[in-house]
Each structure stands twice: as structure tokens, then as C-alpha cells.
């Protein structure tokens, strides 16, 4: 079971439209229901009493992608145009599909949230791996996605 971190101010409601467009563009994530995700993000944001730096921005997460193995399964990773935040989309062959994680930078740490309709137990090891990953590794992953030429497709996972 995936443990959710306490809601400490990162409001993700503004991510829903760019993510919906991104998810529709990638076959590995096309089955995610953007409307449900948008509603969940709005509900999460409504329950968050504090405002954050990310609350007033329209973050687009389409830089990359790179493929990473987390918790024994493959995830397609994009960075956002704030040059700090990341999204992790489950590959179609991942038992957690369709599932995604959003890692939002907050000061010198990351807040990770996950959602999707896939097997949450299958996503749990990846969540644990993300929670143990130091912020420096996540910042390095942002740089790795930025090194991918524009318009590239994710590498084939064998």
C-alpha cells in the first residue's frame, strides 16, 4: 500500500491541463483518465491549507523522456519547465500501469505524490525507491532529461 506524505502545501491543481495533454500524447500513458486526474489534483489542492511557490505557476512537464527502473519496474520520466520537478509515468508493461508519480521540488527536498488506476501494490516499491532517493539524485535526473534532444521518443524497453 502506498503511503501518502502529509499535505504540506504543494498545490498541484495547475499541473492538470499540461499533464492531460502530455499523457494523451504518449501511448504508455494514454489510458490514464485525465479528467479523473484533474479532479483528484483539484481535490488535493483544495485540501492543502498553505500556498506554495508552485501554486501560482503553470508547470509543463514534457522535457525528456528517459526511462528509469524504480523498485524493479520501468518508468518513463519527464522533467518540468521549472527545471526542478519530475513526473514518472508507468510503462505499459509495468503492473502498476496506468500510474504516475509527481516529484515537486520544495526548497532542498522533494514531495512525491502518486496516483493512477493501476495496481497500487505494484507501484509501492517505486514509491519507496523515490522516497529514499536523495534530492541531489533527482536534480541529476532533471539534468539527464534536459540532455535528451527535443522530439525524442523514449528508448525501447526490452
% pLDDT > 90, the chain: 46
* Residue 36 or 102, more confident: 102
Q: Is residue 35 part of a domain?
A: yes
Q: Is residue 153 part of a domain?
A: no
Q: Is residue 119 part of a domain?
A: yes
Of 110, 85, 89, the closest CA to residue 14 belongs to 85
Q: Is residue 97 part of a domain?
A: yes
Mean pLDDT within 87-103: 94
Beta-carbon-side half-sphere exposure of residue 99 (alpha carbons within 13 Å):
24
Q: Residue 106: which pLDDT band, with cuts at 50, 70 and 90?
A: confident
* Residue 130 or 10, more confident: 130
Q: Is residue 154 part of a domain?
A: no
Q: Is residue 156 part of a domain?
A: no
> Whole-prediction pTM value?
0.64
Q: Please report the DSSP string for 66-90 in residue order.
A: EEEEETTEEEEEEE-TTSS-EEEEE
Show the domain range for 66: 13-146
Q: Is residue 48 part of a domain?
A: yes
Q: Is residue 34 part of a domain?
A: yes
Residue 139 main-chain phi, psi, to 5 deg: -65, -40
Beta strand 86-90 with 99-106: parallel, antiparallel or unpaired? Answer: antiparallel
Question: For the segment 9-55, what is each residue's pLDDT rounded down to a tens digit?
Answer: 333 444 444 444 444 444 443 333 333 444 444 444 444 333 334 44
**Would you call 130 exposed, middle or buried from its count of C-beta atoms within 10 A (0-12, 13-18, 19+)?**
buried
When divided into structural domains, the chain yields a total of 1
Cis check: omega of the bond before 65, within 30 degrees of 0: yes
Amino acid at each position: 500500500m502506498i503511503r501518502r506524505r502529509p499535505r504540506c502545501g504543494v498545490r498541484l491543481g495547475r499541473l492538470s491541463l499540461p499533464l492531460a495533454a502530455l499523457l494523451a500524447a504518449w501511448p504508455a500513458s494514454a489510458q490514464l483518465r485525465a479528467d479523473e486526474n484533474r479532479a483528484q489534483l483539484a481535490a488535493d489542492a483544495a485540501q492543502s491549507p498553505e500556498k506554495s511557490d508552485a501554486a501560482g505557476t503553470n508547470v509543463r512537464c514534457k522535457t525528456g523522456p528517459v526511462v528509469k527502473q524504480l523498485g524493479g519496474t520501468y518508468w518513463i520520466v519527464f522533467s518540468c519547465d521549472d527545471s526542478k520537478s519530475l513526473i514518472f509515468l508507468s510503462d505499459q508493461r509495468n503492473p502498476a500501469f496506468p500510474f504516475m508519480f509527481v516529484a515537486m521540488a520544495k526548497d532542498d527536498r522533494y514531495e512525491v505524490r502518486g496516483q493512477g488506476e493501476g495496481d497500487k501494490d505494484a507501484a509501492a516499491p517505486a514509491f519507496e525507491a523515490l522516497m529514499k532517493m536523495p534530492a541531489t539524485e533527482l536534480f541529476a535526473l532533471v539534468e539527464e532529461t534536459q540532455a535528451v534532444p527535443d522530439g525524442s521518443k523514449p528508448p525501447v524497453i526490452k
